[in-house]
Amino acid sequence: MKAWQVHAWGEPSSLQLGEAGTPEVGAGQVRIRHRAAGLNFFDLLQVRGQYQIKPPFPFTPGAEAAGVVEEVGDGVTGFRAGDRVMALCLQNGFGESSVVPATHVFALPESWSFAEGAAFPIVYHTGWYALERRARLERGETLLVHAGASGVGMAAIQIGKAMGARVIATASTETKRAFAVSVGADEVIDYTQAGWPDEVKRLTGGRGADVIYDPVGGDAFDLSTKCIALEGRLLVIGFASGRIPSIAANRILIKNFSVVGAVWGAYAIPRPGYLAEAQRSLAGFALKPQVRQEYSFDHLVDALQDLDQRRVIGKAVLLVS
């Protein structure tokens, strides 16, 4: 099969498209012929060697995909050849096929395209884990979502609204703010303006946001501490800004808020039962990703460069076949 491979740490331009062996199916596994693969910011970090997971060379990145089941292994009862599915493949998404534990595979809704299916697993499972399990977001609370026009931001907005929260989103341009509104944000804020924390406080009557969803880090994290509510929860999702922030513990003490880590994979992957439970909960909300950019298989480098330059709105997807 054809696959994009990383042979050494570097920029997206260092990726090589070549032939890789077709993976064999073992017990409890499913082989999927990919039709589309989702793109995530951590794919960039993994190509550069900046991600916490560093597979041996050569490897094929790409953590989520959608396609058709080709073969199932012994003991698999929930799927059969020909089924349309989406999957948390965790690696090998940017290849023509992957072998995935059956517990990481979910039925693709009939009305969804393969591109929409490939855009769902990572960001929506991350959002659900962070907001439901880590932050314990409650109906009527105010949720502030940074990078509201990104894939993770889009999912957090939709999940927050489904859970009954009031959602404020930040984004840098009018186009991105309009997108955040289109997926459910009640208010939007231009985070490039120096006084944006004051705007959060104004919109909340001086209280601040009960939960802050931060995939950005850097200045966004620092300034979030100025507009978080008493007993608020500041969710650390990632560091897309490139700077890992730090905080003096006295600020947490004085304002009575919590800084909460939310690494979905470290919790969910060792707990297959949780993956199924989360998928059932998400399916009950009737959520749907917005795919705004689709790239042909031979244009993966362009896709990753667009992601790196913040030119992607919503989710970007690689069309594999």
Upper half-sphere CA count for residue 10 (Cβ side, 13 Å) = 12
What does the H/E/C string look like for 111-133?
CCCHHHHHCCHHHHHHHHHHHHH
Average pLDDT over residues 243-262: 95
| Nearest-angstrom CA–CA distance, 101 and 272 | 9
| Predicted pLDDT of residue 126 | 97
Whether the per-residue pLDDT at 67 is higher than 90: the answer is yes
Can 2-120+289-319 and 123-265 be said to share one CATH topology?
A: no
Query: Amino acid letter at 58?
Result: P
Average pLDDT over residues 263-281: 93
What does the H/E/C string look like for the chain?
CEEEEECCCCCHHHCEEEECCCCCCCCCEEEEEEEEEECCHHHHHHHHCCCCCCCCCCECCCCCEEEEEEEECCCCCCCCCCCEEEECCCCCCCECEEEEEHHHEEECCCCCCHHHHHCCHHHHHHHHHHHHHHCCCCCCCEEEECCCCCHHHHHHHHHHHHCCCEEEEEECCHHHHHHHHHCCCCEEEECCCCCHHHHHHHHCCCCCEEEEEECCCHHHHHHHCCCEEEEEEEEECCCCCCCCCCCCHHHHHHHCCEEEECCHHHHHCCCHHHHHHHHHHHHHCCCCCCEEEEEEHHHHHHHHHHHHCCCCCCEEEEECC
Share of the chain above pLDDT 70, in %: 100
Whether the per-residue pLDDT at 53 is higher than 90: the answer is no
CA 287 to chain CA centroid, Å, is 14
| Nearest-angstrom CA–CA distance, 144 and 133 | 17
CA 120 to chain CA centroid, Å, is 8
Query: Is the alpha carbon torsion for 145, 212, 307, 69 positive or negative?
Result: negative
Average pLDDT over residues 222-227: 97
Average pLDDT over residues 36-41: 97
- Alpha carbon of 163 to those of 135, 142, 229, 238: distances in Å? 12, 11, 19, 22
| Predicted pLDDT of residue 23 | 84
Whether the per-residue pLDDT at 22 is higher than 90: the answer is no
Whether cis (ω within 30° of 0) applies to the bond prior to 289 is: no
Where does residue 265 rank: exposed (0-12), middle (13-18), buried (19+ CB within 10 A)? Answer: middle
Whether the per-residue pLDDT at 142 is higher than 90: the answer is yes
Question: What confidence category does residue 121 fall into, taking pLDDT thresholds of 50, 70 and 90?
Answer: very high
Average pLDDT over residues 72-89: 96
Whether the per-residue pLDDT at 52 is higher than 90: the answer is no
Question: What confidence category does residue 293 fall into, taking pLDDT thresholds of 50, 70 and 90?
Answer: very high
Cα maximum dimension of the chain: 59
For domain 2-120+289-319, the CATH architecture is Alpha-Beta Complex (3.90)
Assigned fold of 123-265:
Rossmann fold (3.40.50)
Average pLDDT over residues 108-130: 97
Task: List, in order, residues 6 or more apart from 33 with CB less than 8 Å away.
Answer: 67, 68, 69, 70, 96, 97, 321
Q: Domain coordinates of the chain in residue numbers?
A: 2-120+289-319, 123-265
Whether the per-residue pLDDT at 286 is higher than 90: the answer is no
Whether the per-residue pLDDT at 21 is higher than 90: the answer is no
Whether the per-residue pLDDT at 267 is higher than 90: the answer is yes
Share of the chain above pLDDT 90, in %: 96
Task: List, in order, residues 6 or more apart from 234 with CB less than 8 Å away.
Answer: 212, 214, 221, 224, 225, 228, 257, 258, 259, 260
Average pLDDT over residues 156-184: 98
Q: Are 287 and 183 in contact (CB under 8 A)?
A: no
Average pLDDT over residues 125-144: 98
Structure tokens at 106: 């979910």
Question: What confidence category does residue 321 fall into, taking pLDDT thresholds of 50, 70 and 90?
Answer: confident
The residue length of the chain stands at 321
Mean pLDDT, rounded, of the chain = 96
| Predicted pLDDT of residue 291 | 96
| Nearest-angstrom CA–CA distance, 241 and 262 | 17
